[in-house]
Amino acid sequence: MSDKSREPGIVLTPEEKKRQRQRNVAIAIALAGLCVMFWVITLVKGPAMLQRPM
């Protein structure tokens, strides 16, 4: 199959590409923040988590 026989699909304008990149960066920052938050909570709770009654 040649690539020229394919339709171009959705073509984004430069403004749409910029907004999409901004959304991706915001999602990445939020995900990294959650990871850091879970890591800090785990460090704060520490070994006390393992000594709880079952």
Six-digit token pair at 48? 């006390």
5 within a domain of the structure (yes/no): no
pLDDT at 42: 85
Residue 2's alpha-carbon distances to 7, 9, 11, in angstroms, are 11, 15, 19
Six-digit token pair at 1? 């199959």
DSSP 6: S
The residue with tokens 């020229």 is 4
37 within a domain of the structure (yes/no): yes
The Cα 40–Cα 34 span in angstroms is: 10
4 within a domain of the structure (yes/no): no
Q: Which tens digit of pLDDT belongs to each residue from 8-54?
A: 899 999 999 999 999 999 999 999 999 999 999 888 887 776 676 76
8 within a domain of the structure (yes/no): no
2 within a domain of the structure (yes/no): no
The Cα 42–Cα 32 span in angstroms is: 15
39 within a domain of the structure (yes/no): yes
Count structural domains, the chain.
Answer: 1
51 within a domain of the structure (yes/no): no
52 within a domain of the structure (yes/no): no
Structural domain for 25, as ranges: 14-44
